[in-house]
Structure formats: structure tokens, C-alpha cells
């Protein structure tokens, strides 16, 4: 679908347009190797099931076929059944949300995975993705291998960033 233009009209963006310039799920920047595709993350349970609910039309229907979604934020929907995110307003206050992706990193990742490329923003978001790895080290340091009940909040946070902590 490379070359296709996407127009976004949802609760957070009106008339936003971007072009898909790379094949879906391919041609990622060097060093950026997320463990999960967006559909896999949604199926495992992320963001308390309350993410992308009003903008599903922007992404392939297949991404939502097995998604664990909720009309209201429900920590039980999360893979580790625990709340592990800050409200969107807090993300904005901390400067994590800028420009084209008002829903944050996961929205950027969905669009990047779909084929949108924005060199400066891609580099910024990939740098943030790499920084979250510090939580992998903390889980390895403090948990017995294979214990999914040890540090579930950190494990859920890693899942929100496309890392698989279930095998740590």
C-alpha cells in the first residue's frame, strides 16, 4: 500500500494526512526491532483496552480482530491485569506528546508500522523506545526467570513499548 494517503478524522485529529511510503511492517530503522506488531499488542491487552477506540478506521481491520478492548479503561483487560499507564494529560505535561501523534508512542508506532516515515520524529521515538529497555534490566535483576507475577507493572509497561517480558 506504499504511496497511499491516509486522512484522519477522529476525536483528537481532524483532517490530518500522511502518506504510507514503506511496506507495512518492514524497512524499519536500523536498531529498531520491536518484538510485537500492533495487532499482537492489542490482542495481548494494552492500555487498559481503551486505546485507538475512536480511530480504528485508520488502521487495518485485522489489527482489531483479536484485540482486547474496552469502552472504559479496565486494567483487567491488560495482559498482566494491572494499571500501568499515566493519563494522556500527564504525557502531554511531561513533553512526551508532540506534533503529529497526539496519542503518544503507540500511535506513532502504529503509523510507522503501517508505513509512514518522518525522519526526525522517527529518530526521537526510536530513541525513547530504546530507553525503555532499562526496565528489562530491572526485571532481570529483581525477578526469578519466568515469574510473570514479579514486577507486573514494569512488564505491562514494556508490553506497551512492544517488548516481550513474559520470557524474562
Give the model confidence (pLDDT) of 112-127 as tens digits.
Answer: 999 999 999 999 999 9
- CA 133 – CA 100 distance, rounded (Å): 25
- CA 65 – CA 3 distance, rounded (Å): 25
Three-class SS state of 156: helix
Total Cβ atoms within 10 A of residue 128: 14
Residue 96 has pLDDT above 80, yes or no: no
Give the distance from CA 89 to its chain's centroid.
Answer: 17
Query: What is this structure's pTM?
Result: 0.93
pLDDT at 85: 76
Residue 86 has pLDDT above 80, yes or no: no
Residue 1 has pLDDT above 80, yes or no: no
Residue 13 has pLDDT above 80, yes or no: yes
Question: Residue 151 corresponds to which cell in the numbers above?
Answer: 514486577
Return the residue matching grid coordinates 494526512: 17
Residue 83 has pLDDT above 80, yes or no: yes
pLDDT at 93: 84
| Mean pLDDT along residues 131-159 | 93
pLDDT-derived band of residue 97, with 50, 70 and 90 as boundaries? confident
End-to-end CA distance of the chain: 36
Residue 58 has pLDDT above 90, yes or no: yes
| Mean pLDDT along residues 94-123 | 92
- CA 116 – CA 127 distance, rounded (Å): 17
Amino acid at each position: 500500500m506504499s504511496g497511499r494517503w491516509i486522512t484522519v478524522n477522529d476525536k483528537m485529529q481532524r483532517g490530518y494526512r500522511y502518506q504510507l511510503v514503506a511496506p507495512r511492517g518492514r524497512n524499519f530503522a536500523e536498531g529498531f526491532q520491536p518484538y510485537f506488531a500492533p495487532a499482537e499488542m492489542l490482542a495481548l491487552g494494552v492500555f487498559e483496552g481503551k486505546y485507538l477506540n475512536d480511530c480504528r478506521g485508520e488502521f487495518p481491520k485485522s489489527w482489531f480482530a483479536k484485540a482486547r478492548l474496552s469502552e472504559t479503561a479496565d486494567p483487567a483487560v491488560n495482559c498482566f491485569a494491572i494499571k500501568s499507564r499515566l493519563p494522556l494529560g500527564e504525557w502531554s505535561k511531561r513533553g512526551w506528546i508532540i506534533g503529529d501523534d497526539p496519542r503518544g508512542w503507540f500511535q506513532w508506532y502504529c503509523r510507522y508500522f503501517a508505513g509512514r516515515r518522518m525522519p526526525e520524529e522517527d529518530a526521537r521515538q526510536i530513541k525513547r523506545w530504546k530507553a525503555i529497555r532499562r526496565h528489562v534490566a530491572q526485571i532481570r535483576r529483581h525477578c526469578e526467570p519466568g515469574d510473570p507475577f514479579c514486577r507486573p507493572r514494569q512488564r505491562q509497561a514494556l508490553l506497551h513499548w512492544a517488548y516481550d517480558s513474559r520470557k524474562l
